[in-house]
């Protein structure tokens, strides 16, 4: 379940990035932290921890 939530949030961050919403609010750091979160969830799911 958390797998799908993280992917949905990643898509939302991408949409906000390409529309310029993140840049206007000085939140571009989300674009850098989202892949880290997705990678962590993929690894933890692969290892059957979550």
Q: In terms of residue numbers, what domain contains 12?
A: 2-46
Give whole-number Cα distances, 31 to 4, 8, 19, 46, 49, in Å.
18, 14, 13, 23, 25
The reported pTM is 0.82
Residue 19's pLDDT is what? Answer: 97
Reply yes or no on whether the pLDDT at 50 is more than 80: no
Q: What is the pLDDT of residues 2-42, one digit of tens each?
A: 889 999 999 999 999 999 999 999 999 999 999 999 999 99
Per-residue model confidence (pLDDT) at position 3: 85
Structure tokens at 46: 């692969």
Indicate the Cα dihedral angle 39, 44, 47, 50, nearest 10°: -150
Domain total in the chain: 1
């Amino acid at each position: 379940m958390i797998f799908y939530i993280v992917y949905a949030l990643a898509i939302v961050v991408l949409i906000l990035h390409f529309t310029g919403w993140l840049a206007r609010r000085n939140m571009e750091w989300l674009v850098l932290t989202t892949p880290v979160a997705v990678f962590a969830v993929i690894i933890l799911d692969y290892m059957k921890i979550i």
